[in-house]
Amino acid sequence: MNPAPFAYQRAESVQEAISLLQEHGESAKLIAGGHSLLPIMKLRLAEPEQLIDIGRIAELRGVRRDGDALVIGALTTHRQVATDPAITGAAPLLTETASRVGDRQVRNRGTIGGALAHADAASDYPAAILALEATMTAQGPNGTRQIAASDFFVDFLTSALQPDEVLTEIRIPVLPGGTGWSYQKLANQASGYAIVGVAALVTLDGDVARDVRIGVTGASPVAWRAAAIEDALRGAALDEAAVTRAAALAGEGVEMLDDLHGSAAYRTRVTRGLMQRALLEAAGRARG
Amino acid sequence: MRVPIRLTVNGVEREAVVEPRKLLVQFLRDDLGLTGAHIGCETSQCGACTVLLDGDAVKSCTILAVQVDGASVTTIEGLAPAGTLHPVQRAFWDEHGLQCGFCTPGMVLSTVALLAEDPDPSEAAVRHGLEGNICRCTGYQNIVLAVRAAAAALQHGAEAEPITG
């Protein structure tokens, strides 16, 4: 099972990758780990004429602190995200999410930048990226711009990146102390993709929730923030009754996927169940 | 378009000129005759094509041969010298950690990578560590026993030994 034929070129820098993207236009695709792109190329859902390999660009690697933000290079593999102590210290929600991506071999090869740029509806990261209010740095011919998580996931397999832009890094604001986290996922047993994944962050002030943030992936064509549930719980005591009551309304008015992995009604029920679990676990961790 | 690549496979320097769309598993099997890397699902799910790339377990059906230019690849053929069994292979033999054998090369290489990182994994860690390898015979019980036996053997300094019955 091969992809359709294509030409291949390795870019040695982000600038070179952008020049190549400009030269080849929409017939070109970037490849890094290839674990999002190659599967859809084999299925001929994508048939780029030119692959530009950015997998060896050193400036896209690494994890660093920049003031109150954690900055993760786009080429950081899922395994590195899942094991990097700086990420675990500042954004354990992302650690937990990355450890649930695919399987060991996939995590060794796939990159966080590739997964996000691909914007697969069943990808794990969007839930955490939305809840963490991360920003994506895109570099293009006219310089760099920051894209907020809430603007980044546009549609099914469509991110806000332009065809001549390279996603270079992911910036995550470091959370205040007393914040608990949880990622709950119902995985497809064969692929490991999320049928539904719910990420929750809870910051407590005494017994009440000062802040609640919830991201949902897998359930819908595009990942979403459960803003109504967050509003209902902000300022409330996060006991089981309150959480269950709030989560029971999750998915109202949201378009749910309806496919062979689960009907829309099933996904709605699973979303509510996982959201309840995620909120209770995050609240428990926030209590310490 | 064809692209020159140079890589180390099972300790041997190899040079080739490949079509960009050639998958690593096809390069290993068709160009180098290393048929131990099996093609199962071809969708990066089953793990039958698992090889070690610079020591890490990866699925060679989802990597282009051109992407591994300059790297070092180990397949099941290169795990131990000819006529000998690596301690992990020996443990799979002793514990009957295979039925039809199709998934075995991938299982063994994933086990080698797992034990390099975690020399004494719990049963749960073994099952989690091998989640990317599917045994269609469902012979998981003995596979887990084999991994635990291999871990114990390696901790006692076991090395590759000649094949005996």
Residues 4-23 (B) with a CB less than 8 A from some CB of A:
19-23
Q: Which top CATH class is A7-52?
A: alpha beta
Task: Look at A7 and B67 and tell me if their CB atoms are within 8 Å.
Answer: no
Which chain B residues touch A4 with a CB distance below 8 Å?
21
Q: Which of A270, A286, A262 is nearest to A175 (CA)?
A: A286
Has residue B165 got a pLDDT over 70?
no
Cα of A277 to nearest chain B Cα, Å: 22
Mean model confidence pLDDT for chain B: 97
Decide which of B78, B103, B128 is a domain's last residue: B78
**Predicted complex ipTM:** 0.96
Closest residue in B to A43 (Cα) is B43
Fold agreement (A7-52, A60-173): no
Across residues A235-242, what is the average pLDDT? 95
Has residue A128 got a pLDDT over 80?
yes
Cβ neighbourhood burial of A1 (10 Å; 0-12, 13-18, 19+): middle
Q: Looking at the structure, do residues B98 and B138 belong to the same domain, yes or no?
A: yes
- Give the total number of structural domains in chain B: 2
Q: Looking at the structure, do residues B109 and B142 belong to the same domain, yes or no?
A: yes
Which chain A residues touch B113 with a CB distance below 8 Å?
104
> How far apart, in Å, do the first and last CA atoms of chain B sit?
49
Of all residues in chain A, the percent with pLDDT exceeding 70 is: 100
Decide which of B59, B78, B97 is a domain's last residue: B78
Cα of B52 to nearest chain A Cα, Å: 10
Q: What share of chain A is helix, strand, coil (3-state, %, to 5)?
A: 35, 30, 35
Q: Looking at the structure, do residues B93 and B129 belong to the same domain, yes or no?
A: yes
Residue A285 pLDDT class (50, 70, 90 cuts): very high
Cα of B127 to nearest chain A Cα, Å: 11
CA-to-CA distance for B93 and A119, rounded, in angstroms?
43
Has residue A253 got a pLDDT over 70?
yes
Residues 6 or more apart whose Cβ sits within 8 Å of residue B91: B97, B146, B147, B149, B150, B153
CA-to-CA distance for B107 and B101, rounded, in angstroms?
10
Has residue A192 got a pLDDT over 90?
no
Q: In what order do the strands lie in the sheet with A135-140?
A: A63-66, A69-73, A166-173, A135-140, A143-148
Q: Looking at the structure, do residues B66 and B92 belong to the same domain, yes or no?
A: no
Residue with tokens 């990942």: A223
Confidence (pLDDT) at A85: 96
Which residues sit opposite A184 in a β-bridge? A198
Q: Looking at the structure, do residues B154 and B116 belong to the same domain, yes or no?
A: yes
> How far apart, in Å, do the first and last CA atoms of chain A sit?
50
Q: Looking at the structure, do residues B68 and B17 belong to the same domain, yes or no?
A: yes
Task: Look at B67 and A53 and tell me if their CB atoms are within 8 Å.
Answer: yes
Q: Looking at the structure, do residues B51 and B115 belong to the same domain, yes or no?
A: no
Closest residue in A to B49 (Cα) is A105
Give yes or no for a contact between A278 and A233, defined as CB atoms under 8 angstroms apart. no
What is the CB neighbour count within 10 angstroms for residue A281?
18
Q: How far is CA B21 from CA A2, A5, A172, B1, B62, in A?
A: 7, 6, 36, 10, 11
Give yes or no for a contact between B95 and B68, defined as CB atoms under 8 angstroms apart. no
Of all residues in chain A, the percent with pLDDT exceeding 90 is: 95
Q: Are strands B56-59 and B50-53 parallel, antiparallel or unpaired?
A: antiparallel
Closest residue in B to A48 (Cα) is B21
What are the tokens at B127?
């099952």
Look up the CATH number of domain A60-173.
Answer: 3.30.465.10
Q: Does B121 touch chain A (CB under 8 A)?
A: no
Decide which of B42, B59, B78 is a domain's last residue: B78
Task: Look at B129 and A39 and tell me if their CB atoms are within 8 Å.
Answer: no
Residues 6 or more apart whose Cβ sits within 8 Å of residue A43: none
R_g over Cα of chain B? 16
pLDDT digits (tens, 9 = 90+) for B92-119: 999 999 999 999 999 999 999 999 999 9
Task: Look at B132 and A102 and tell me if their CB atoms are within 8 Å.
Answer: yes
Confidence (pLDDT) at A191: 83
The pTM assigned to this predicted structure is: 0.96
What are the tokens at B54?
């610079």
Locate the domains of chain A by residue range. 7-52, 60-173, 179-287
Has residue A152 got a pLDDT over 90?
yes
Q: Looking at the structure, do residues B23 and B74 belong to the same domain, yes or no?
A: yes
Across residues A194-214, what is the average pLDDT? 96
Residues of A with CB under 8 A from a CB of B: 1-8, 31, 34-35, 38-39, 42, 51, 53, 55, 79, 102-106, 108-109, 190-192
Give yes or no for a contact between A39 and B62, defined as CB atoms under 8 angstroms apart. yes
Interface A-B, measured as beta-carbon pairs within 8 A, has a size of: 82
Q: Does B103 touch chain A (CB under 8 A)?
A: no
pLDDT digits (tens, 9 = 90+) for A61-108: 999 999 999 999 999 999 999 999 999 999 999 999 999 999 999 999
In CATH, what number is assigned to the domain containing residue B55? 3.10.20.30
Q: Looking at the structure, do residues B51 and B90 belong to the same domain, yes or no?
A: no
CATH H-level superfamily of A179-287: CO dehydrogenase flavoprotein, C-terminal domain (3.30.390.50)
Q: Does B57 touch chain A (CB under 8 A)?
A: yes
In CATH, what number is assigned to the domain containing residue B95? 1.10.150.120
Task: Look at B1 and A7 and tell me if their CB atoms are within 8 Å.
Answer: yes
Q: The domain containing residue B100 runs over which residues?
A: 84-162
Q: Does B138 touch chain A (CB under 8 A)?
A: no
Q: How far is CA B48 from CA A104, A191, B75, B101, B102, in A?
A: 13, 14, 11, 10, 7
Nearest to B132 among A8, A31, A104 (CB): A104
Residue with tokens 């050193």: A58
Task: Look at B132 and A4 and tell me if their CB atoms are within 8 Å.
Answer: no
Confidence (pLDDT) at B163: 87
Q: Looking at the structure, do residues B62 and B132 belong to the same domain, yes or no?
A: no
Q: Looking at the structure, do residues B114 and B150 belong to the same domain, yes or no?
A: yes
Quote the distance between the C-alpha of residue B50 and its chain's center. Answer: 5
In three state form, how does the secondary structure of A38-104 look?
HHHHHCCCCCCCEEEECCCCHHHCCEEEECCEEEEECCCEHHHHHHCHHHHHHCHHHHHHHHCCCCH
Q: Which of A43, A125, A52 is nearest to B62 (CA)?
A: A43
Task: Look at B43 and A191 and tell me if their CB atoms are within 8 Å.
Answer: yes
Q: Looking at the structure, do residues B53 and B104 belong to the same domain, yes or no?
A: no
Task: Look at B129 and A104 and tell me if their CB atoms are within 8 Å.
Answer: yes
Give yes or no for a contact between A136 and A126, defined as CB atoms under 8 angstroms apart. no
Per the document, the length of chain B is 165
Which chain B residues touch A105 with a CB distance below 8 Å?
44, 47, 50, 57-59, 110, 132
Task: Look at A8 and B43 and tell me if their CB atoms are within 8 Å.
Answer: no
Which chain A residues touch B56 with a CB distance below 8 Å?
79, 108-109
CA-to-CA distance for B40 and B132, rounded, in angstroms?
13
CA-to-CA distance for A192 and A83, rounded, in angstroms?
19
CA-to-CA distance for B117 and B121, rounded, in angstroms?
9
